[in-house]
């Protein structure tokens, strides 16, 4: 049985070394094994195999049956991942408290200059965090246009849109017509949703003064965005959104026509 490269990378991303990943995957596929069997089957150096298995035991990925020779059992991925999640959350809390306690007072005391009118953002999570910042500051009007709704973006949008609706912020959303129906239903709870067959890129305009334009994010391309609080760019972006809004179709009407 072959394991995808994405899964192998995921194991490394959450804290396993290359050797540890190989050893754990061998145990999952083959079953309980001795150190010698794992080394022979995987090609891992025998001089390192005991260190690798000891680390896996400490990290909560394997159990050891005493005896001569010892046998190593893989823990269920669900158990190992839950243990790793708790470790990460505990470490994250400690680091957040340490960094905030020492650096935030320095930042506040120094009085860092405001960001420039226009900035370039790279990477999905940097963009999502800036989107959250913009949405949280919206007071009157929010316009959102996007080709897709990645899970990370939906997680950010859900609670904020709910809050914005509760304080009567006018919310308009344009999405591509092939976005998942369940996602459209959920977005429709917070504001008016329209769909469009052809869309390129997307963006957010908040209160006629803040704009974020999405330039990337398609498969195999870098997530890239331009963010600006320049009034002229925000006005231009809003005019283009209104143009798309007039061309787009109300999502509810499409649902009704399908039923009929």
Does the residue 90 lie in any domain? no
d(CA 33, CA 7): 22
Residues 58 and 178 in one domain: no
Does the residue 239 lie in any domain? yes
Domain boundary among 46, 75, 104: 75
Does the residue 174 lie in any domain? yes
Q: What is the mean pLDDT of the chain?
A: 86
**Alpha-carbon dihedral sign for residues 57, 58, 60, 65:** positive
Residues 237 and 125 in one domain: yes
- Per the structure, the complete domain to which residue 166 belongs is given by 118-259
Residues 68 and 186 in one domain: no
pLDDT at 108: 79
The reported pTM is 0.57
d(CA 161, CA 186): 10
Tally DSSP H helices, then E strands, for the chain: 10, 11
Identify the bridge partners of residue 202 per DSSP, sorted by sequence position.
214
Q: What is the DSSP string of 166-230?
A: HTT-EEEEEEETTS-HHHHHHHHTTSEEEEES---SEEEEETTTEEEEE---STTS--EEEEE--
pLDDT at 116: 57
Does the residue 85 lie in any domain? no
Q: What angle do CA 20, 25, 28 make, to 5 degrees?
A: 130
Does the residue 91 lie in any domain? no
Instruction: Identify the band that residue 111 occupies on the pLDDT scale cut at 50, 70 and 90.
Output: low
pLDDT at 115: 56
pLDDT digits (tens, 9 = 90+) for 197-218: 887 778 999 998 899 998 765 5
- Top-confidence residue, 139 or 116: 139
Instruction: Identify the band that residue 153 occupies on the pLDDT scale cut at 50, 70 and 90.
Output: confident
3-state secondary structure 100-127: HHHHHHHHHHHCCCCCCCEEEEECHHHH
For the chain, the domain total comes to 2
Q: Please, are residues 184 and 199 in contact by the beta-carbon 8 Å criterion?
A: no
- Top-confidence residue, 218 or 26: 26
pLDDT of 138 > 60? The answer is: yes
- Top-confidence residue, 170 or 148: 170
Residues 168 and 239 in one domain: yes
């Amino acid at each position: 049985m072959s394991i995808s490269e994405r899964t192998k990378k995921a194991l490394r991303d959450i804290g396993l070394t290359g050797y540890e990943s190989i050893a754990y995957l061998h145990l999952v596929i083959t079953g309980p094994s001795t150190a010698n069997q794992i080394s022979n089957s995987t090609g891992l150096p025998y001089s390192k195999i005991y260190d690798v298995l000891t680390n896996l035991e400490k990290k909560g990925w394997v159990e050891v049956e005493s005896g001569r020779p010892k046998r190593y059992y893989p823990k269920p991925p669900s158990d190992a991942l839950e243990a790793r999640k708790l470790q990460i959350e505990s470490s994250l809390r400690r680091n957040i408290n340490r960094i905030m306690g020492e650096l935030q007072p320095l930042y506040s005391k120094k009085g860092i200059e405001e960001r420039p009118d226009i900035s370039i953002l790279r990477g999905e999570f940097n963009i999502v965090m800036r989107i959250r910042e913009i949405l949280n500051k919206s007071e009157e009007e929010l316009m959102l246009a996007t080709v897709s709704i990645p899970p990370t973006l939906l997680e950010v949008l859900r609670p904020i849109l709910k809050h914005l609706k509760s304080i009567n912020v006018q919310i308009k959303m344009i999405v591509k017509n092939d976005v998942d129906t369940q996602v459209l239903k959920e977005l429709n709870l917070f504001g008016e949703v329209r769909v469009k067959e052809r869309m390129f890129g997307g963006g957010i305009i908040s209160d006629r003064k803040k704009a974020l334009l999405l330039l990337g994010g398609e498969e195999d391309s870098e997530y890239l965005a331009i963010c600006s609080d320049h009034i002229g760019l925000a006005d231009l972006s809003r005019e283009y959104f209104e143009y798309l809004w007039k061309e787009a179709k109300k999502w509810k009407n499409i649902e009704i026509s399908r039923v009929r």
